[in-house]
Amino acid sequence: MYAGLMAAAAVVALTSAVHASPVAMASNMVGKPTFKSGGGPWKPLGVLQRLSPGDVVKCAPGQQAVIMMFTDGIRFKVASGTSGTIEPTSVRGGLSVGDMGGATIRVAKAMTGLDTQPFLARAVKEAQELTLHDNGIIVVGTKSITINSPDTGVASYLLTFFNQSGNVIWSTRVDGPTIDLPADLPVSTHKPYVWTLTEFGQMGKPQPALRWGISTFLSQDDADKLNADAASLQSQAASSDDHTTPLMMEAELYRQNGVYEGALRVLDPLRTSGQPGIQEAEADLCTQVSPYAALLFNLNKTTTTSDDTTAQNTP
């Protein structure tokens, strides 16, 4: 996903609030609104922040927040100088600005019941064209991955996968660009895994750049459905006056499926265009993946491109 990353020397502590039963999320904002849960302290409100019943969103003068409900996709605006309390299907104190219709409502209602059970990889029966940088999806049963556009003068590659605790779950060093995956790779579906790729020169010296990304294992059916829903939201964003809300929903869809690289891909153009709160949302997503992902993102946060290809799945 990101290239040109130098080896890390320090860890940056980042935190993220996770609600037990979110019913809404912040999809857009002006300025820096705040929110609090129960008797907790006021915290900065960020886009993609999930909100639960009882949470309060406050907008000081000159600030504004748009909250979208998961139940029906209806959006509520918390206006400048006011506050709104999250309820199961509405925002008390907020002004309803209607729903987006179409894919936004359908996807919002379907964001439940994901299967995250462990699995053992099986041999695939059909050819695959998925790539690691293509939202980070690896279809269950993929037997090997092939490095795309390897740098010249590279003699060997070290590919390593890390779990959510930052522990190595599998690593291998190979002489060629094709890397076989073990049949008993200890991973679960819908869970994000950080991977790093180190290149070694002819003299065995590691190259200064470390490539990395976030991969998620999905069944072929789940991958197909997710990609179709994401495409519908992309289409809605392109044809709507409010293009931000469908994109926020797309990012949330990827996140709820554990496909964090997909969420980052959606948000990255918004960040480069100056959309408020996007870089903070990207940092928060990486924090949710693992402390190691947060560290890698922080060290590379000034990079403006996130579509560097590193590896491709092969049957």
pLDDT in tens, 87-121: 999 999 999 988 766 777 777 766 644 444 444 44
pLDDT for res 153: 81
Cα–Cα distance for residue pair 290/196, rounded to 1 Å: 14
**DSSP letter assigned to residue 193:** E
113 Cβ partners below 8 Å, 6+ apart?
A: none
Distances (CA, A) of 216 to 56, 189, 192, 261: 33, 7, 5, 8
314 versus 209: the higher-pLDDT residue is 209
Report the length, in residues, of the chain: 315
Q: Report residue 251's pLDDT band, with 50, 70 and 90 as the boundaries.
A: very high
φ, ψ of residue 145 in degrees (nearest 5): -125, 145
CA 202 to chain centre: 36
Question: What's the pTM?
Answer: 0.76
Cα–Cα distance for residue pair 54/22, rounded to 1 Å: 10
Residue 194's nearest CA partner among 111, 102, 286 is 286
Burial bucket for residue 146 (CB in 10 Å: 0-12, 13-18, 19+): middle
- pLDDT beyond 80 at 264: yes
Q: Report residue 134's pLDDT band, with 50, 70 and 90 as the boundaries.
A: low
Residues of 18-31 as b/e, b for ≥16 C-beta within 10 angstroms?
ebeebbbbbbbbee
Burial bucket for residue 252 (CB in 10 Å: 0-12, 13-18, 19+): buried
Cα–Cα distance for residue pair 183/120, rounded to 1 Å: 6
Q: Say how many CA atoms lie within 13 Å of 21 toward its Cβ.
A: 7
At 15-44, the pLDDT tens digits run 333 444 788 999 888 999 999 998 899 999
Cα–Cα distance for residue pair 294/300, rounded to 1 Å: 10
